[in-house]
Structure 1
Amino acid sequence: MRIDWWTLGLQAINAIVLIWLLSRFLFKPVAAMIAERQAAAERIGAEAEALRASAEQDRDAAAAAEAEMAASRAAQLKAATDAAAGERERLVTAAHDEAARLRAAAVAEIERMRTDVERRAQSRASQLAIIIAGRVLAHLPEALRIAPFLPSLGKAIDALSPQAKAGLAEQPCARVAAPPDETDIRALRVLLAEKLGAPAEPEIVVDAALIAGIELEGAHAVVRNSLRADLDHITAELGRDGD
């Protein structure tokens, strides 16, 4: 077999030219295209990664916002519940206080009404006693409305201080329940002279409201000695007992 070196050389030259042409017009553009597409793919991947990271951040932010809103709603609900419980407790306490106040006011009003009724009853009883006493004594001799009260009048004068006796001796006034006769007047003068230590000429004033008895009035002293005074004293004592 013979080798044609000229043919081999030409073929080698053709191969070198072909490789150079392919390298010049095919390999480099293809490599550049591949590099460009690879860069685009990397850029798209980076953008996708950035979008994914942004989406994750948005998701985390949304989750955090939702958790914050849930916590805020829970706090608001708790605050509203606590406020409602506090208001309910305040209203219940206020209702209890108002009920207690009304109950106390009702008890006080009932007690006041009871006391008022008792006082009115006592007043009516006193008035009735005075009327009965007046009607009973109206059938007795008028002398019996004065003379029986002279001893108690003497005891009342004895209980006075010297200053009160001296004041009573100055222009004494004797209030009697019925017109006295001469015997009553003389007995009264003797009693006053004995108890006051000096003669006395009392002014006689008839006061039927006394019912029975004798009362003395002086410049600085008063001696109540009548059935009306006794009834007034009893009424006052009953009133104090009722209080």
Structure 2
Amino acid sequence: MTINWWTLGLQAINVLILVWLLSRLFWRPVAAAIARRQETTQATIDEAKAAQIKADAALADVSKTREGIAAERTALLAEATKKAEAAAKAALADAQVKADKLLAAAQTSIDRDAAAAKKDNAAQASTLSVEIAAKILGQLNSPTVQAAQLELLVKAISGMTDAERAALVAAKAQIEIASATSPTVAEKAEIKKAVIAGLGGSPKLKFVTDPDLIAGLELRSAHFVLRNSWRADLDAILKEMTDAAL
């Protein structure tokens, strides 16, 4: 087999020309297009990365904001709870104070009413006791009692000052001799004699009847009363019992 170097050389030249033509007319534009496409793709990738970075930053801001909102909400809730508890405690304390005042006022009122009722009961009991005693003593009134009361009257007159006795004797108005029952003529004479002797003069005397005296004799004028009766004694006892109840 013989090699035709001229033919081989021509074919090699044709291949070189073809390669040169392809590189000039095809590969360079294609390579340029590919390069441009790569650049565009890279730019898009870069933009996407930048957008991703911005999105991540925005997401981080949102997360941080949400955390801040959650923390603020928790703080607000805690503060509101604290204020509500403080207000509830204050209201409870105020209600307790008011309740204590009401209870104290009620207790004071109860104590006052109880004391008043006790005093009233004591006064009623004392009055009732005196009324019972008056009825019993009224049944005991007798000449002997009247004689004893006359002695007591004379003793009471002797206990007066000279000026008081002189004033009664010199009085223009009549001096009343009060008794629970109307004395007999003899009793009046005896009483009048004892009163004149006790006063040491001749006063104007007048007998009057006062059943409320129960028993006893009293001297009365416009400005003077010499009490000497069971009613006077019972009134004094009632006053002492009433004062003791207070």
State the TM-score bracket (shorter-chain normalisation): 0.7 to 0.9
The TM-score, its normalising length taken from structure 1, stands at: 0.78
Match for 1:65 among 62, 66, 69?
A: 69
Aligned partner of 1:154 in structure 2 is: 157
State the SS of the aligned residue for 1:235. helix
In structure 2, the residue matched to 1:29 is 33
Q: Report the equivalent of 2:112.
A: 108
Q: In the alignment, what sits opposite 1:176? A: 179
Q: CA deviation at 1:150?
A: 2.5
Q: Distance in 2 between matches of 1:111 and 1:215?
A: 38
- For this pair of structures, how many residues does the alignment match? 236
**Structure 1 residues 229 and 15, CA gap change in structure 2 (3 angstroms):** same
Q: Distance in 2 between matches of 1:92 and 1:122?
A: 43
Cα separation, partners in 2 of 1:226 and 1:170, compared to 1, 3 Å = farther
Could you tell me which of 187, 194, 203 is aligned with 2:194? 187
Within a 5 Å distance, the mapping from 1:11-160 to structure 2 comes to: 18-22=22-26, 25-137=29-141, 139-141=142-144, 143-144=146-147, 146-158=149-161
Query: How far apart are the structure 1 equivalents of 2:164 and 2:118?
Result: 42
Partner of 1:231: 234
Q: Does 2:216 correspond to 1:213?
A: yes
Q: Unaligned stretches of 5+ in structure 2? A: none
Q: Normalized against structure 2, the TM-score is what?
A: 0.78
Q: 1:147-175 CA distances to partner (integer Å, 9 max, x unpaired)?
A: 2233233145328769x946982413332
Aligned Cα RMSD in Å? 3.5
Pick which of 24-33 and 224-233 moved more.
24-33
Runs of 5+ unmatched residues, structure 1:
none
Identity %: 22
- Offset at residue 146 of structure 1 (A): 4.7
